């Protein structure tokens, strides 16, 4: 059985659900692995007990970061086996994090061990990342490492997109959170005619937004922009007419759009509802790198050589750590093993064959890029 399977089984056994994280268990495990195979490394912590590790193989420029995260989403319900005790069955490994992101991390460790053996051949430096907090925004993980300039890679690969190595994520939609607030007048629940119901006002506005399609120009890598009603709250008690109600929309937008204009559009849609206001909260721009970059070319060529197929370049509606890197001027792509529909679900699993394949592909990609 491939070494990556043994590593993955060990990694699944560490309960690193985020929140709270508890990633230190994996940090200590990876440290031992690095020491065993004489891979030099540094540790970086913004918060005690949530240690980021970066291993270094080779020296000089260019530097290529390949980074996996050690946290997972909570296990949730619906599991047929213990989510934190790996089960090998029917050619697959089952357990929380099998695809996202402990399977890729196991493959990265195996590739790093093999690359250490040919370190003198590399013309540049591989940075092997084992980072925390990806599932909750990376503010103490890779985001912290990049923002605080703890590491400064020239290029990066994020093994966190699934699709069994058949896609290379080169673009990601923008993220915009918009708050819609309904205002009313409080009154006793037995006399609703004396008040103005903020929840009713908000509902009418949200129904109008739901029917609306945002203005945009088609993009070759992206599907159309989306609006998701992700959060709603209002009211203090069943026997009161609520005076305030709030909802937050999660909007994934295209390069042809801007947050300011999107907010203007939504304000116009709800303009007939005088008790409603619209506010912009979070905004993160879309990102994209060139589809013919050297890093993309090497990944395509290597995958074709090792596995017999060529991954296609795509844009994602979701966001990965690649976005944070690109926004700092570091060309980054998403490329990984495992089926995408296995992420964040009960009975998460990955094919054993893909673990071995991805270890080989990563090894050859790094060696081919740093030649």
| 47: CATH | 3.40.630.10
For 242-299, the pLDDT digits (tens) are: 999 999 999 999 999 999 999 999 999 999 998 999 999 999 999 999 999 999 999 9
Report the C-alpha gap between 312 and 99 in whole angstroms: 20
Report the C-alpha gap between 335 and 332 in whole angstroms: 10
Banded model confidence at residue 1, pLDDT cuts 50, 70, 90 = low
Could you tell me if 201 and 314 lie in one domain? no
Could you tell me if 266 and 254 lie in one domain? yes
Cβ(54)–Cβ(44) under 8 Å? yes
Could you tell me if 18 and 118 lie in one domain? yes
Could you tell me if 123 and 261 lie in one domain? no
The residue among 284, 317, 347 that closes a domain is 284
pLDDT higher than 90, residue 319 = no
For residue 89, the model assigns a pLDDT of 96
Using alpha carbons, select from 325, 370, 354, 371 the residue that is nearest to residue 67.
325
Could you tell me if 216 and 314 lie in one domain? no
For 146-183, the pLDDT digits (tens) are: 999 999 999 999 999 989 999 999 999 999 999 999 99
Could you tell me if 93 and 139 lie in one domain? yes
Report the C-alpha gap between 357 and 107 in whole angstroms: 9
**Domain of 102?**
3-172+287-369
pLDDT higher than 70, residue 44 = yes
Strand partners, 131: 69
225: CATH: 3.30.70.360
Strand partners, 333: 157
pLDDT higher than 70, residue 369 = yes
pLDDT higher than 80, residue 58 = yes
Banded model confidence at residue 318, pLDDT cuts 50, 70, 90 = confident
The residue among 227, 257, 284 that closes a domain is 284
For residue 2, the model assigns a pLDDT of 83
Could you tell me if 123 and 71 lie in one domain? yes
Could you tell me if 110 and 181 lie in one domain? no
Could you tell me if 87 and 30 lie in one domain? yes
Could you tell me if 29 and 103 lie in one domain? yes
Strand partners, 41: 55
Could you tell me if 41 and 138 lie in one domain? yes
For residue 358, the model assigns a pLDDT of 98
Total number of domains constituting the chain: 2
- Whether the ω angle into residue 348 lies within 30 degrees of 0, i.e. cis, is no
Q: What angle do CA 318, 79, 68 make, to 5 degrees?
A: 40
The residue among 262, 284, 306 that closes a domain is 284
Could you tell me if 129 and 35 lie in one domain? yes
Helix axes 3-12, 102-117, angle to 10 degrees: 140
Burial classification of residue 288, based on how many CB atoms lie within 10 Å of its CB (0-12 exposed, 13-18 middle, 19 or more buried): middle
For residue 138, the model assigns a pLDDT of 93
For residue 180, the model assigns a pLDDT of 98
Mean pLDDT of all residues in 110-122: 97
**Whole-number average pLDDT of the chain:** 96
Q: What angle do CA 183, 185, 187 make, to 5 degrees?
A: 140
């Amino acid at each position: 059985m491939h070494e990556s399977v043994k590593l993955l089984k060990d990694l699944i056994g560490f309960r690193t659900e985020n929140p709270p994280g508890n990633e230190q268990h994996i940090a200590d495990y990876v440290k031992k692995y690095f020491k065993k195979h004489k891979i030099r490394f540094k540790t970086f912590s913004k918060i005690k007990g949530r240690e980021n590790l970066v291993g270094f193989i080779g020296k000089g420029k260019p530097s290529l970061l390949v980074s996996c995260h050690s946290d997972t989403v909570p296990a949730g319900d619906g599991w047929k086996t213990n989510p934190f005790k790996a089960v090998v069955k029917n050619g697959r490994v089952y357990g929380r994090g099998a695809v996202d992101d402990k399977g890729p991390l196991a493959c990265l460790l195996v590739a790093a061990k093999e690359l250490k053996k040919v370190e003198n051949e590399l013309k540049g430096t591989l940075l092997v990342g084992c980072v925390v907090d990806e599932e909750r925004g990376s503010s103490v993980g890779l985001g912290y490492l990049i923002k605080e300039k703890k590491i400064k890679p020239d290029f990066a690969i994020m093994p966190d997109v699934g699709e069994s190595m058949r896609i290379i994520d080169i673009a990601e939609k923008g993220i915009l959170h918009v708050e819609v607030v309904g205002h009313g007048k409080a009154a006793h629940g037995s006399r609703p005619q004396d008040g103005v119901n903020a929840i009713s006002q908000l509902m009418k506005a949200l129904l109008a937004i739901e029917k609306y399609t945002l203005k945009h120009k088609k993009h070759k890598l992206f599907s159309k922009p989306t609006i998701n009603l992700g959060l709603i709250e209002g009211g203090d008690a069943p026997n009161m007419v609520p005076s305030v109600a709030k909802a937050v929309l999660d909007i994934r937008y295209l390069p042809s759009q801007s947050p300011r204009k999107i907010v203007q559009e939504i304000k116009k849609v709800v303009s007939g509802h005088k008790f409603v206001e619209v506010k912009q909260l979070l905004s993160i721009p879309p990102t994209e790198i060139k589809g013919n970059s050297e890093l993309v070319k090497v990944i395509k060529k290597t995958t074709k050589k090792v596995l017999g197929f060529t991954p296609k370049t795509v844009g994602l509606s979701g966001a990965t750590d690649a976005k944070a890197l690109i926004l700092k001027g570091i060309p980054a792509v998403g490329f990984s093993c495992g089926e995408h529909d296995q992420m964040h679900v009960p009975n998460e699993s990955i094919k054993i064959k893909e673990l071995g394949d991805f270890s080989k592909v990563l090894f050859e990609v790094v060696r081919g890029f740093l030649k």
